[in-house]
Amino acid sequence: MSDIIEKIAYCVEFGKIDQKSPYPPNMRGELGADELTKQAIEEGIDPDEILNKGMVVGMDKVGQKFSENKVFVPQMLMSAKAMSSAMVHIKPFFQAGTVKRKGVFVLGTVHGDLHDIGKILSA
C-alpha cells in the first residue's frame, strides 16, 4: 500500500480533517484527510483504492476500537468528519461512472446522522 494511502487511513482513524484542524493535538499543523486525498487524486491514485485501502481501513480501525471501548462517540464523530472531508474529492469519480460500480442498492438515514457515511459513499 502506498504511503499516502496509509496516511489517509491514519487521518481518518484519528479524525484529522485538514491541516488547520487542531485535533488530534499530536498532528497539529500536519496535512489531514482532505489535503491528502486531493494529493492522492492528483498523483493518479485510483479513487477506488483511496476509498477501500485508505478511508475504509481507517474507519474499520476506529470502529474496532469503539467496540472495544478504547474510543468513544466524540472520536467516532471526528473520524466520520475526516472521512466526509476526503469523500468530497473522490465522490465525483463515482458519480461520473469513471469508477466501476458493483451494483445498485438503496439506503436511508436521518440527514446529518453519523451513519450517513455509508449512504454518502453510494450516492
Residue with cell 466526509: 84
Helical segments of 1-123, H only: 3-14, 33-42, 47-49, 56-67, 73-95, 116-122
Write down the pTM of the prediction: 0.79
Residues shown for the chain: 123
Read off the pLDDT of residues 24-54 as tens digits, 9 standing for 90 and up. 999 999 999 999 999 999 999 999 999 999 9
Higher pLDDT, 110 or 8: 8
Q: Is the pLDDT of residue 85 over 80?
A: yes
d(CA 37, CA 4): 8
Nearest to 78 by CA among 122, 13, 28: 13
Higher pLDDT, 58 or 113: 58
